Amino acid sequence: MKDTRAAIRYAKAILDIAVDNKATDAIEKDMRSVVSTISDSKELKDLLSSPIIKGEDKKVALSKIFKGSHAITEGMIKLLVDNKRVGMLNEVALKYIILNEQLKGQDVAVVTTAVPLTKDLEKKILGQVNKITGNEVTIENKIDENIIGGFVLRVGDLQFDASVANKLSSLKREFTNSL
């Protein structure tokens, strides 16, 4: 939780700088590149989280990997390394993308389900979320079989958990409390 709050603070700071420099879209493109690069590479994840590898070595490696990125993005990466927070790079990039989309009046609704959403169901959810938020919303469907059934909808800071796993957990708490 602490890292999430810190990631949001870094992302907001980067967004403020990007807005001042009129570079929000270029930075968002870089952030999407950061997220996809990190998610595609186990070695990079290991490098970022390793306490053994020195900060300077991480800085050199990341500057080569993300060569050609906007100066603000490069500065953010160097800042995270210097502050020993480079392990949060992916989280900061994700938070930046969300904040920038909200700034543009767009939201991303993350719908976690046990099975993929059908197109009809996706349209219904999109219509309801558009009414609730008043913003243009895109749907991202994540599959998590651990929720058993139902769904978990997350838009920005709002979360609605209608999963079977959540209902079972609630029942278990009620039974435990009544004993």
- Nearest residue to 136 (alpha-carbon basis) of 117, 108, 110, 156: 108
Q: What's the order of all strands across the beta sheet hosting 136-143?
A: 136-143, 106-113, 151-155, 158-161
Residues of the chain with pLDDT under 70: 1-3
> What does the pLDDT read at residue 3?
67
Tens digit of each residue's pLDDT (9 = 90 or more) over 86-95: 889 999 998 8
Q: Tell me the C-alpha distance between 114 and 164, whole Å.
A: 10
What H or E segment, with its residue span, contains residue 52? none
Whole-number pLDDT of residue 78: 92
The pLDDT of residue 21 is 92
Residue 94: name the closest of 41, 135, 37, 136 by CA: 37
pTM of the model: 0.65
Question: What pLDDT is attached to residue 27?
Answer: 92
pLDDT of residue 106: 75
Q: Sketch the domain layout of the chain as residue ranges.
A: 2-101, 105-178
Q: Just give the CATH number of 2-101.
A: 1.10.520.20
Structure tokens at 92: 């900061």
